[in-house]
Chain A
Amino acid sequence: MKKNLGILGIFLVVCVVASVFGQNFLTGYNLMNLTQRTSLFAIISLGAGLVIVTGGIDLSIGSVVCLAGITTPWLLVEHGWSPWVVIPLVLAGSALIGLFHGVLITRLRLQPFLVTLCGLLLYRGIARWMTSDQSQGFQGEFAGVRSIALAKFPIPLVENYQIPATVIPLVVLAVVIGVFLHRTVWGRWLLATGRNESAARYSGVPTAWLITMAYVACSLLAGFGGMLFIFDIGSAQPSDFGNFYELYAIAAAVLGGCSLRGGEASVFGIILGAATLQVLRTAIILLGLSSQLEFAVIGAVLLIGVTADELVRRFSVRRIERKQT
């Protein structure tokens, strides 16, 4: 919990600044919107976190979001397939992409950066070619399926704010991944692998299998996220849907306390990180800043957050060491 204090602080500061200076920040509509976007981005950020724990990186998240997101309406609308076939198929396809990355990384010992960079180009290209670069959408149909992402649950006695349905998969995933990382043998092994892969292998930990599974989980969550994104917005362009989402996911994981060196993660921190990024995006609009500044502001806040975190950590490590030596 202690290591989440930094990101919690940044989150609160950003929220206070946004609500003091932007008139519409604390409206129910805006908060509802924020919750929705936070849930969606947090889901793909959790996947990024699992890969970062192993000391790896996944740059293909945005393209997997695009491919899975575009394929869903393409199969449903253009080809008329049943949602009962399409949803499992898209999820299985996403998992296969992760398996492909994992096998290349663990068996052929290719670098994760390179493998997933190629993935980034590959899947976006496939999505654009497959759809002839045409915008894909539900054309007002499939309301039932889309309600997975669009349904809202009212809270008794609260007006103006309803809980978006995407919170449910997020909470379920957060609990599952949290328990997995900190309570199960596999989680212990995954964290150990991230810290010192070689020492984990010498201790009998199936490191190759664990790393592969981390990439499978990451791509599966990206595919699932992509599906929820398209259900949410209704239609999208293959050329720009999901662009830079991998960077939002990685940024959220790093803000949330994952070390890019591996071996450290906090589920709560990752969700807070994703929320901070979304509040920032909204704040830029509400504060009347030019939306062209968005990346610059996010970059600056990320840099400040990571620097502050590193300084705090160095200070506390030194204090612990002084106490122990």
Chain B
Amino acid sequence: MTNTHQELLRCSGLGRRYAGVPALSGIDLSIRGGEVLAIVGENGAGKSTLLKMLSGVIAPSDGDISVADADGVLRTVQLSSVRDATRAGIALVHQELNLAENLDIAGSIFLGREPARFGFLDLHSMQASARDWLARVGLDLDPTTPCGALAIAQRQLVEVAKALSCNARILILDEPTSSLSAREADRMLEIMSELRAQGKAVVFVSHHLDEVLRIADRVVVLRDGHCTGVLERGAYDRDSIERLMVGRSIEPTEQRAARDSASVRLRVSGLTSAHRRAHPVSFVVKTGEIVGLAGLVGAGRTEILEAIAAITPHGGEVHLDDVELRGNTASRVRRGVAIVPEDRARNGIFAANHVAMNMSLAWVDRNSRARTVDTSAERGVVGRLMERMQLRPAEPDRLLHTLSGGNQQKSVIGRWIAVSPALLLLDEPTRGVDVAARAEIHAEIRRLADSGTSVLFASSDLEEVLMLADRVIVMHEGSIAGEFTAQEVDEVAIMHLATGGAPTGSRTQTAARGKEHRRGTKL
């Protein structure tokens, strides 16, 4: 058993340059067994670069990494591949999960190192030991379940089990909770502290400061490729971390004025999605109003958004400005519906194309003369959109996949700004986006709403719902569990309904209690 708090890894003067430009420099860091180390920073601060160097995905341009050997002596190592890192006891759990969907759990845990006898797979021992590793991460699943059938949270835990089965002493988790619901995220954090108790070193990146505050023994703050501080538990709070991240504290946003007198923009009546046997839902969104759909993952929020945009067929009726919406997505987009999907990589971006093409696709037809693309006008509009969204770097000719997640998301949202949509549907508008980009995206959504666009968004991030929405619709298992205005809403009330609690009689009481939680679970 590893001696707890033994130093397992040390890097000194670690840095990485791309084409001579430093992305990260002068990182001195030690990682000890039995501790949880959080790495925080805005997008582009160098978090991913640091993780990639520690896990052997890219080689450092400066500095050394030393890893403790069996006797606990630190030795300098060259981590030139993921294999090297695995051998040194370092395992990375990716942000984008990459389990083979067609393999079962046991098969993916042992992918590439299957136990075999005389060249035949030893399925029996493979499944037996897979079951052991699953138990270590608190998963009670049959190892023969195909990975494609697992929920995201379960897949993530399978990946952790896989990392543990490689005898990893240092586990690196890249945004482990970004796609989990609040309850699943809690479970993930519990498992991280169990791993800590077992003497493992757990390194994780997170945009959710609450998680960091709850679990981290030490916090490494990065800004613009430098380490701006390493804070020990007890020596940090939210404000000090935020100041180190952005050089200033983030102000909570103002409440928007009520929209009681505005006309009804969207009327949904008896809507059912063909993708789920859900209950029919009915609600309205007024002109210029921002309505948030809250609920647990799988509560049916995405289905509602995609049905309104006709991405999936639906039953019931949808009226926009008192005229029924019919036909496919393309015809609804012409009517003024805009949708920003949840799965950016699959449904949002054209990764191998230029930023300009990505941002102009939604309006290139409206900006054309006789259906001919007016290239120079297109450039002009894209330039203004990039300016308005503060998209960095401001180069329309860059290939989209070279941008950070936050900037990619800005390009997908920015696509719709030029058409001033009547109704903007957003599914997880700031997933995997850093604090500053998130604030900019929120500001842009508010600007659009102020100019008359109605916004309907779904978010698993309760603080986002509270910060952004004028009105909150809470969903539970496919139907609407309740509705709040911004004035009366709080986290406790939302979670109560979202987890299947009965609507409370005295709302004021819960609201008063909730004010203390107003700062939110997630940031």
A205-B330 in contact (CB<8A):
yes
B352-A195 in contact (CB<8A):
yes
A204-B333 in contact (CB<8A):
yes
Assign chain B's interface to a size class: 35 or more
Q: How far is the CA of A208 from the CA of B399 in the complex (A)?
A: 26
- Chain B min CB distance to A25 (Å): 40
Q: Which residues of A contact B330 (CB under 8 A)?
A: 201, 204-207, 209
Chain A 159-197 per-residue mask, 1 if CB under 8 angstroms from chain B, else 0: 000000000000000000000000111101100100110
B364-A185 in contact (CB<8A):
yes
Q: Which residues of A contact B350 (CB under 8 A)?
A: 192, 195-196, 199
Q: Is B357 an interface residue (CB 8 A)?
A: yes
- Chain B min CB distance to A213 (Å): 13
Assign chain A's interface to a size class: 20 to 34
Tell me the residues in window 336-381 of chain B with beta carbons closer than 8 Å to chain A beta carbons: 338-341, 346-353, 357, 361-362, 364-365, 368, 371-373
Q: Is B118 an interface residue (CB 8 A)?
A: no
CB < 8 Å neighbour of B357 from A188, A204, A320, A322: A188
- Chain B min CB distance to A187 (Å): 8
CB < 8 Å neighbour of A184 from B334, B341, B362, B372: B372
Q: Is A292 an interface residue (CB 8 A)?
A: no
Q: Which residues of B contact A325 (CB under 8 A)?
A: 18-19, 402
B402-A204 in contact (CB<8A):
no
Q: Is A295 an interface residue (CB 8 A)?
A: no
Q: How far is the CA of A196 from the CA of B368 in the complex (A)?
A: 22
- Chain B min CB distance to A81 (Å): 37
A322-B19 in contact (CB<8A):
yes
A208-B328 in contact (CB<8A):
yes
Q: Is B311 an interface residue (CB 8 A)?
A: yes
Q: How far is the CA of A264 from the CA of B328 in the complex (A)?
A: 26
Beta-carbon nearest neighbor of B306 in chain A: A202
Tell me the residues in window 312-336 of chain B with beta carbons closer than 8 Å to chain A beta carbons: 328-334
- Chain A min CB distance to B425 (Å): 10
Q: How far is the CA of A324 from the CA of B397 in the complex (A)?
A: 10
Q: Which residues of B contact A185 (CB under 8 A)?
A: 364-365, 368, 371-373
Tell me the residues in window 253-288 of chain A with beta carbons closer than 8 Å to chain B beta carbons: 263
Query: Knowing A196-B349, A322-B19, A325-B18 touch, does A202 contact B311 (C-beta < 8 A)?
Result: yes
Q: Is B415 an interface residue (CB 8 A)?
A: yes
B371-A202 in contact (CB<8A):
no
Q: How far is the CA of A207 from the CA of B329 in the complex (A)?
A: 10
CB < 8 Å neighbour of A200 from B19, B361, B371: B361
- Chain B min CB distance to A163 (Å): 30
Q: Is A323 an interface residue (CB 8 A)?
A: yes
- Chain A min CB distance to B15 (Å): 15
Q: Which residues of B contact A209 (CB under 8 A)?
A: 330
Q: How far is the CA of A62 from the CA of B372 in the complex (A)?
A: 33
Q: Is B398 an interface residue (CB 8 A)?
A: yes
- Chain B min CB distance to A70 (Å): 37
Q: Is A198 an interface residue (CB 8 A)?
A: yes
Q: Which residues of A contact B334 (CB under 8 A)?
A: 204
- Chain A min CB distance to B51 (Å): 16
Q: Is A307 an interface residue (CB 8 A)?
A: no
Q: Which residues of A contact B338 (CB under 8 A)?
A: 204
Q: How far is the CA of A205 from the CA of B362 in the complex (A)?
A: 8
Q: How far is the CA of A265 from the CA of B243 in the complex (A)?
A: 50
- Chain A min CB distance to B58 (Å): 10
Query: Knowing A203-B362, A324-B398 touch, does A188 contact B341 (C-beta < 8 A)?
Result: no
Tell me the residues in window 222-278 of chain B with beta carbons closer than 8 Å to chain A beta carbons: none
- Chain A min CB distance to B368 (Å): 5
B415-A203 in contact (CB<8A):
yes
Q: How far is the CA of A198 from the CA of B311 in the complex (A)?
A: 9
Among A186, A188, A189, chain B packs the most CB atoms within 10 A around the CB of A188
Beta-carbon nearest neighbor of A264 in chain B: B352
B347-A184 in contact (CB<8A):
no
CB < 8 Å neighbour of B349 from A199, A204, A206: A199
Q: Which residues of A contact B402 (CB under 8 A)?
A: 321, 324-325
Beta-carbon nearest neighbor of A198 in chain B: B347
B371-A192 in contact (CB<8A):
no
A205-B361 in contact (CB<8A):
yes
- Chain B min CB distance to A320 (Å): 7
Q: Which residues of B contact A192 (CB under 8 A)?
A: 350, 353, 357, 361
A323-B19 in contact (CB<8A):
yes
Q: Which residues of A contact B373 (CB under 8 A)?
A: 183-185, 188
Beta-carbon nearest neighbor of A209 in chain B: B330
CB < 8 Å neighbour of A324 from B329, B351, B399: B399
CB < 8 Å neighbour of B311 from A201, A208, A322: A201
Tell me the residues in window 191-247 of chain A with beta carbons closer than 8 Å to chain B beta carbons: 192, 195-196, 198-209
B348-A202 in contact (CB<8A):
yes
Chain B 436-457 per-residue mask, 1 if CB under 8 angstroms from chain A, else 0: 0000000000000000000000
Q: Which residues of B contact A207 (CB under 8 A)?
A: 330
Beta-carbon nearest neighbor of A182 in chain B: B373
Q: How far is the CA of A198 from the CA of B350 in the complex (A)?
A: 10
Tell me the residues in window 144-191 of chain B with beta carbons closer than 8 Å to chain A beta carbons: none
Q: How far is the CA of A138 from the CA of B361 in the complex (A)?
A: 50
Q: Which residues of A contact B362 (CB under 8 A)?
A: 203-204
Q: Which residues of B contact A188 (CB under 8 A)?
A: 357, 361, 364, 373
Q: How far is the CA of A171 from the CA of B402 in the complex (A)?
A: 38
Q: How far is the CA of A263 from the CA of B351 in the complex (A)?
A: 12
- Chain B min CB distance to A42 (Å): 25
Query: Knowing A322-B19, A324-B402 touch, does A204 contact B329 (C-beta < 8 A)?
Result: yes
Q: How far is the CA of A186 from the CA of B364 in the complex (A)?
A: 10
- Chain A min CB distance to B408 (Å): 11
Q: Which residues of B contact A186 (CB under 8 A)?
A: 371
Q: Which 9 residue pairs spanning A and B have beta carbons closest together? A: A204-B333, A206-B330, A325-B18, A185-B365, A203-B361, A324-B402, A198-B347, A203-B362, A195-B350
- 9 A-B residue pairs with CB within 8 Å: A185-B371, A195-B352, A195-B353, A196-B347, A198-B347, A202-B329, A203-B415, A208-B328, A323-B19
Binding site for A on B (CB under 8 A): 18-19, 309, 311, 328-334, 338-341, 346-353, 357, 361-362, 364-365, 368, 371-373, 398-399, 402, 415
